[in-house]
């Protein structure tokens, strides 16, 4: 069937919310399985989303790399090695069925991208922290985004892309998701889409923090929409904080860039000149797992051994100990140049250190899905960073992009099968009208609370209390402050009443989503009374496998956020390997 208007509501078979790697792959797969697809994106096709800005290294085993691409990967790198590395870095709370699908499907998905025209730069070298071998091949986020956008356009009328639309809520009927509503902010119009199946692929919620490494549209929309509709989420306490982040150009101004690993020989120093990683991992030092380095960096800052700057605390990143010709060589590396951009930065590193700190990077938690992308709600599927369960307590470097294509393909295929077997359900007119009023309320309200001020308030809270080093006291205060902020949601008002490209109006709609995500992080982190991966508790600094080898799951019950835990044979699924004694 073709997308059509039915009484003011557009109808399609499969609705995909999000146009990054996971969303576009889901759309392509659903279309290849015979369904009419509509894609909603907050930006413009191929020009927004986290995939576009990613380093774009795909993890797959060395055997497959050699077989498919002829690169000189280590022959000892078998699929089982990648599987085990992912579980080890995830601190054993990964869903092993999800990890298994990633390892099994990634080679075919990457081969498919190459067949569509993606150019691979070669093997991702050297091995990233937590990897026994260099598991991946690399390209660029721009390359991937262009190839996927071109593939979508080749599908013609079978895939309709609607730019500049923010989906705000899901439509439900008798426990089933039957579509979504949102705002077309280019025209100031309310939109409603009726669908047999919906795929959420909206990425993370990094915008709850003032400085992060992702595009600004990541406000937690998918997690919040799924939560309000009744879907379960898990592992929301686990968010990756990337190390060696700094503000570019030097001296720091406002843009956000990062160095993902320190295998180039950089040293991290506190204000006493100490390489403090020796206290945490004397063998690997700065090349330790990213979650460990991030915790170490932040503890140095919080305990007064770092420096204080206008944008918060920092430590020093130094490369002065390296010969100048080595630094010159590094300046030509495409990946590091992506982070630093100019030779001037490297010339500075020959003489002085630069300010380095941690910053929020990727979400490990999200919507609870099975290996085929099905959520706990009928008719709702999800893929990519909006989901939880794959990465556990920390993400193995290189798994994020592979996740997008593996999960996008599976979710798109599952949504297509669901749509083929089920008729369209009737949209609840009362629900539709209520959601329309919710969308327009901030624009129609004459005065009230500034959504931009609320965002600044939330970002301040998150940067102080939801970072990777936490305590029960700070998390309890965070929950209390979030509850107070939620009381202001009915009073959010956009000062400008121009309905087109009204950024303040969009910010008001994003505010509820960001508050929901912040509350999920705070409550889940408060409940997990141990330290694991990216979640470090001052009051519970040890990892407790006896009591906490389990996931924290949350869902909405009436109007309250309820949390509970599940251990095997629940979401963890110790299907192939069991955790060591520890």
193 within domain boundaries:
yes
412 within domain boundaries:
yes
Q: What CATH number is associated with residue 24? A: 3.50.50.60
- Give, in degrees to the nearest 5, the angle at Cα 271 between 266 and 275: 40
Regarding whether 205 and 123 lie in a shared domain, the answer is: yes
Q: What pLDDT is attached to residue 571?
A: 58
578 within domain boundaries:
no
The confidence band for 337, taking pLDDT boundaries of 50, 70 and 90, is low
Percent of the chain with pLDDT over 70: 89
Regarding whether 158 and 79 lie in a shared domain, the answer is: yes
Regarding whether 192 and 162 lie in a shared domain, the answer is: yes
Token pair 């390359």 in the structure block, residue = 143
Cα 88 to chain center, whole Å?
Answer: 20
pLDDT digits (tens, 9 = 90+) for 459-480: 999 999 999 999 999 999 999 9
Regarding whether 303 and 226 lie in a shared domain, the answer is: no
552 within domain boundaries:
no
pLDDT digits (tens, 9 = 90+) for 267-291: 999 999 999 999 999 998 988 888 8
Q: What pLDDT is attached to residue 334?
A: 56
Regarding whether 247 and 151 lie in a shared domain, the answer is: no
Q: What CATH number is associated with residue 281? A: 3.90.700.10
Q: What pLDDT is attached to residue 8?
A: 62
Of 402, 421, 440, the position where a domain reaches its end is 421
Q: Among 48-62, 143-157, 250-264, 437-451, which stretch is predicted with the lowest mean pLDDT?
A: 250-264
Query: Does pLDDT of 256 surpass 70?
Result: no
Q: How many other β-carbons are positioned within 10 Å of the β-carbon of residue 78? A: 16
- The sheet carrying 136-138 orders its strands as 57-59, 136-138, 122-123
Q: Among 74-78, 110-114, 339-343, 550-554, which stretch is predicted with the lowest mean pLDDT?
A: 339-343
Q: Among 123-132, 292-301, 376-385, 527-536, which stretch is predicted with the lowest mean pLDDT?
A: 123-132
Overall average pLDDT of the 218-223 stretch:
93
Of 329, 358, 387, the position where a domain reaches its end is 358
Query: Does pLDDT of 251 surpass 50?
Result: no
Regarding whether 472 and 335 lie in a shared domain, the answer is: no
Find, among 483, 488, 565, the residue nearest to 518 by Cα: 483
Q: How many other β-carbons are positioned within 10 Å of the β-carbon of residue 563? A: 17
Mean pLDDT of the chain: 88
Q: Into how many domains does the chain fold?
A: 3
417 within domain boundaries:
yes
- Is the pTM higher than 0.85? yes
Q: What pLDDT is attached to residue 491?
A: 96
Overall average pLDDT of the 291-309 stretch:
92
Based on the number of CB atoms within 10 Å of its own CB, is 353 exposed (0-12), middle (13-18) or buried (19 or more)?
middle
pLDDT digits (tens, 9 = 90+) for 489-536: 999 999 999 999 999 999 999 999 999 999 999 999 999 999 999 999
Regarding whether 330 and 194 lie in a shared domain, the answer is: no
Query: Does pLDDT of 250 surpass 50?
Result: no
Regarding whether 157 and 26 lie in a shared domain, the answer is: yes
Q: What pLDDT is attached to residue 260?
A: 42
Regarding whether 299 and 250 lie in a shared domain, the answer is: yes
290 within domain boundaries:
yes
pLDDT digits (tens, 9 = 90+) for 184-216: 999 999 999 999 999 999 999 889 998 887 878
Q: What is the DSSP string of 284-301?
A: TGGGS-HHHHHHHHHHHH
Regarding whether 132 and 39 lie in a shared domain, the answer is: yes
Query: Does pLDDT of 254 surpass 60?
Result: no
Rounded to whole angstroms, how far apart are CA atoms 209 and 236?
Answer: 15
Query: Does pLDDT of 300 surpass 80?
Result: yes
Q: What pLDDT is attached to residue 55?
A: 72
Rounded to whole angstroms, how far apart are CA atoms 510 and 168?
Answer: 8
pLDDT digits (tens, 9 = 90+) for 561-580: 999 998 655 555 555 666 76
Q: What pLDDT is attached to residue 258?
A: 46
Q: What pLDDT is attached to residue 5?
A: 44
Query: Does pLDDT of 394 surpass 60?
Result: yes
Q: Which residues of 250-269 are buried (b: 16+ CB within 10 A; e: fewer)?
A: bebeeeebbbbbbebebbbb
The dihedrals phi and psi of 190, each to the nearest 5 degrees, come to -80, 135
Rounded to whole angstroms, how far apart are CA atoms 237 and 540?
Answer: 14
The confidence band for 252, taking pLDDT boundaries of 50, 70 and 90, is very low
Rounded to whole angstroms, how far apart are CA atoms 369 and 408?
Answer: 12
Q: List helix spans (H) across 55-188.
A: 62-69, 79-89, 96-115, 141-154
Contacts for 461 with CB less than 8 Å, ≥ 6 apart = 478, 481, 482, 518
570 within domain boundaries:
no
Of 333, 358, 383, the position where a domain reaches its end is 358
Regarding whether 512 and 440 lie in a shared domain, the answer is: yes
Q: Give the residue with greater pLDDT, 121 vs 257.
A: 121
pLDDT digits (tens, 9 = 90+) for 12-34: 999 999 999 999 999 999 999 99
Overall average pLDDT of the 323-340 stretch:
68
DSSP classification of residue 158: G
Regarding whether 465 and 374 lie in a shared domain, the answer is: no
Q: What pLDDT is attached to residue 212?
A: 81
Q: What CATH number is associated with residue 515? A: 1.20.58.100
232 within domain boundaries:
yes
Domain residues for the domain of 352 are: 242-358
């Amino acid at each position: 069937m073709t997308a059509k208007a039915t009484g003011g509501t557009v109808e399609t078979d499969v609705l995909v919310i999000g146009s990054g790697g996971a969303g576009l792959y889901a759309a392509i797969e659903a279309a290849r399985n015979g369904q009419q697809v509509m894609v909603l994106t907050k930006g413009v096709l191929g020009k927004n989303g986290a995939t576009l800005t990613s380093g774009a290294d795909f993890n797959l085993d060395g055997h497959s790399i050699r077989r498919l691409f002829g690169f000189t990967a280590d022959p000892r790198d078998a699929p089982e090695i990648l599987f085990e590395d992912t579980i080890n870095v995830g601190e054993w709370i990964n869903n092993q069925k999800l990890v298994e699908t990633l390892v099994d499907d990634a080679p075919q998905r990457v081969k498919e991208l190459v067949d569509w025209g993606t150019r691979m730069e070669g093997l991702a070298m050297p091995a990233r922290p937590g990897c026994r071998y260099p598991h991946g091949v690399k390209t660029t986020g721009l390359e991937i985004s262009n190839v996927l956008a071109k593939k979508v356009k080749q599908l013609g009328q079978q895939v309709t892309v609607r730019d500049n639309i923010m989906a705000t809520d899901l439509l439900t009927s008798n426990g089933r998701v039957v579509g979504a509503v949102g705002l077309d902010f280019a025209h100031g119009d309310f939109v409603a889409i009726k669908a047999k199946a919906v795929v959420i692929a909206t990425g993370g919620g990094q915008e709850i923090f003032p400085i992060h490494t992702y595009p600004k549209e990541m406000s937690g929309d998918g997690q919040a929409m799924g939560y309000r509709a009744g879907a379960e989420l898990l592992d929301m306490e686990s968010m990756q904080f990337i190390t060696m982040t700094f503000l570019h150009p030097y001296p720091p101004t406002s843009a956000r860039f990062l160095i993902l690993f320190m295998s180039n020989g950089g040293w991290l120093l506190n204000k006493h000149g100490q390489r403090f990683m020796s206290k945490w991992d004397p063998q690997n030092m700065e090349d330790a797992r990213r979650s460990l380095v991030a915790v170490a960096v932040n503890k140095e800052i919080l305990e007064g051994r770092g420096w204080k700057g206008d944008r918060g605390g920092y430590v020093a990143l130094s490369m002065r100990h390296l010969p100048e010709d080595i630094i010159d060589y590094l300046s030509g590396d495409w990946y590091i140049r992506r982070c630093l951009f100019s030779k001037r930065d490297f010339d500075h590193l020959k003489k002085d250190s630069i300010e380095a700190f941690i910053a929020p990077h990727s979400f490990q938690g999200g919507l609870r899905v099975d290996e085929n992308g099905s959520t706990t709600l009928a008719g709702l599927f999800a893929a990519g960073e909006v989901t939880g369960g794959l990465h556990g307590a920390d993400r193995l470097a290189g798994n994020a992009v592979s996740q997008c294509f593996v999960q996008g393909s599976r979710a798109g295929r599952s949504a297509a099968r669901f749509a083929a077997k089920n008729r369209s359900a009737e949209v609840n007119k009362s629900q539709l009208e209520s959601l329309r009023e919710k969308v327009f309320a901030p624009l129609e309200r004459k005065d009230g609370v500034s959504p931009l001020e609320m965002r600044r308030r939330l970002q301040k809270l998150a940067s102080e209390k939801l970072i990777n080093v936490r305590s029960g006291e700070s998390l309890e205060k965070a929950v209390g402050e979030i509850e107070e902020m939620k009381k202001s949601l009915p009073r959010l008002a956009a000062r400008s009443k121009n309905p087109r490209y009204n950024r303040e109006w969009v910010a008001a709609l994003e505010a509820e989503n960001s508050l929901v995500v912040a509350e999920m992080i705070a409550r889940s982190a408060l409940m997990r009374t141990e330290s694991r991966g990216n979640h470090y508790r001052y009051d519970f600094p040890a990892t407790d496998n006896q009591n906490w080898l389990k996931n924290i799951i949350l869902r909405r019950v009436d109007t309250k956020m309820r949390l509970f835990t599940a251990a095997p044979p629940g979401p963890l699924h110790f299907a192939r390997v069991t955790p060591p004694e520890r």
